[in-house]
Amino acid sequence: MSVISARGLEKRYGDKAALSGVDFTVPKGEIVGFLGPNGAGKTTTMKILTGFISPTAGEAKVCGINVVSDPVAARRKIGYLPESAPVYTEMRVVDYLQFMGQVRGLDSAERAAAVDRALRRCGLTERAKDEISTLSKGYRQRVGLAQAILHEPDLLILDEPTSGLDPNQIAEIRALIRELGERRTVILSTHILSEVQATCDRVLIIHKGRIVADGPTATVTAASQGERLRVVVGPGEVRLTPQQLHAGLAALPGVRQLVPVDDAELVEGELAVDLLSDGDLRAVTSRWVTAQGLTLLEQRRERSNLEEVFRRLTGADDAPARAQSGRAPL
């Protein structure tokens, strides 16, 4: 049985569609990155799964429980950490967790064991008697995670869990999420694409209310079949305008998309572009640059990463790509 099952989810606000036929399932023990630009439908999907709003059409289940017809039972299966962890900063860590245990309906014996377990798993045992207001943001996030796992949920939903943390805190929270994911399913909503690559087994990308990519993180990245080639040229026998350079390179065979580059390290007369393609363009671009009488200063080849896939699928480079290459991104 899937921990999450979403079938044909639709959500309309008047004549505006926030979700249009969202379908996905998540099995037990998977850490899934849920990505989407603002307004894509990511938050709406999260609110439906957690029972805060109902879909206009379709069905969502958590551990086989319909979130609309039996929301209380479904919520017992869910641990939720919103972007701003709702903690009472004047309380001590242990008192706050005891309070949240009561809210979750745990009896006295269950509550004591659950609090001790959550403190230990989240590395908070030595901070149990500290007032939350005295903790760093990284430790406050740990408190938020501790309250989310108090009742041993099958599903953890985490919204931007590393937002505002420093690099050391980010590394610690990522490691903690991986550890927590060994025992349960995790949905990680984030705008930090490197976080998905570092933490998640699978990625879901939503755009304009529809799922546009779904699969193992490495597979989704590889499925772009894309490479990025940074080309830097300088004046030679002739000097081209940026528009002339863009038009010439965009017309080369194999170029799928051209992205202008504004590089502060370029000196006067130098121009740089990124070319997206399905293969190695270096020989083609080298011949073209030489034939134009320009000086080829650099060609740097890179495989597409998750950020590039995200931008391509959500149309983040849509306008410049169409303007320069006449082709729509995949």
What does the block give as tokens for 8? 């044909």
Average pLDDT taken over every residue of the chain = 86
Q: What is the pTM of this model?
A: 0.71
- b/e burial code for range 30-65 (CB count within 10 A of at least 16 → b): bbbbbbbbeebbbbbbbebbbbebebeebebbbbeb
User: Is 109 within 8 Å of 178 (Cβ atoms)?
Assistant: no
pLDDT of residue 286 exceeding 60, the answer is: yes
For residue 155, list its beta bridge partners. Answer: 78, 185
Kindly state the DSSP code that residue 133 receives in the 8-state scheme. G
Residue 326: band (very low, low, confident or very high) from pLDDT cuts 50, 70, 90: very low
pLDDT of residue 86: 64
pLDDT of residue 319: 38
Q: What is the pLDDT of residues 302-312, one digit of tens each?
A: 766 677 677 77
Instruction: Enumerate domains of the chain plus CATH numbers.
Output: 4-222 (3.40.50.300), 224-325 (3.30.70.1340)
Average pLDDT over residues 159-164: 84
| Least confident among 111-115, 268-272, 287-291 | 268-272
How distant is the alpha carbon of residue 77 from its chain centre?
23
Kindly state the DSSP code that residue 281 receives in the 8-state scheme. -
What percent of the chain lies above the pLDDT cut of 90?
Answer: 56
pLDDT of residue 321: 35
- Work out whether the CA dihedral 114, 116, 117, 123 comes out positive or negative: positive
What is d(CA 217, CA 94) in angstroms, rounded to the nearest whole number?
37
What is d(CA 255, CA 321) in angstroms, rounded to the nearest whole number?
11
pLDDT of residue 143 exceeding 80, the answer is: yes
pLDDT of residue 329 exceeding 50, the answer is: no
Q: What is the pLDDT of residues 69-124, one digit of tens each?
A: 999 999 999 999 987 776 789 999 999 999 999 999 999 999 999 999 999 999 99
User: Is 312 within 8 Å of 254 (Cβ atoms)?
Assistant: no
Residue 1: band (very low, low, confident or very high) from pLDDT cuts 50, 70, 90: confident
User: Is 192 within 8 Å of 162 (Cβ atoms)?
Assistant: yes
- Mean pLDDT highest for which of 29-43, 48-62, 74-88? 48-62
What does the block give as tokens for 46? 């999260």
Residue whose C-alpha is closest to residue 39's, from 212, 213, 210, 215? 210
> Cβ atoms within 10 A of the Cβ of 250, count?
19
User: Is 144 within 8 Å of 96 (Cβ atoms)?
Assistant: no
pLDDT of residue 201 exceeding 80, the answer is: yes
For residue 275, list its beta bridge partners. Answer: 229, 258
pLDDT of residue 99: 96
pLDDT of residue 144 exceeding 70, the answer is: yes
pLDDT of residue 223 exceeding 90, the answer is: no
Residue 57: band (very low, low, confident or very high) from pLDDT cuts 50, 70, 90: very high
What is d(CA 117, CA 120) in angstroms, rounded to the nearest whole number?
5
What does the block give as tokens for 85? 């962890």
> Cβ atoms within 10 A of the Cβ of 78, count?
24
What is d(CA 328, CA 315) in angstroms, rounded to the nearest whole number?
9
